[in-house]
Amino acid sequence: MPAERRSGKTGAAGAADAPQAVPKTPAQPGVAGYDVRVRIRDGDAPVFGPGRLTLLRAIDETGSISAAARGMGMSYRRAWLLVEAMNHEFREPLVTRHIGGVSGGGAQLTPFAQNLTAHYDTLVREIRSLLDAHVPTFDAYLKGRPVQDPDDA
Which tens digit of pLDDT belongs to each residue from 81-100? 999 999 999 999 999 998 87
If pLDDT is split at 50, 70 and 90, which confidence band does 153 have? low
Instruction: Report pTM.
Output: 0.73
- The pLDDT tens digits for 29-76 are 667 888 889 999 999 999 999 999 999 999 999 999 999 999 999 999
User: Which residues neighbour 29 within 8 Å (Cβ) at sequence distance 6 or greater?
Assistant: none
Flag whether pLDDT at 127 surpasses 90: yes
- For residue 94, the number of C-alpha atoms closer than 13 Å in the C-beta half-sphere is 26
Higher pLDDT, 102 or 110: 110
CATH of domain 40-136: 1.10.10.10
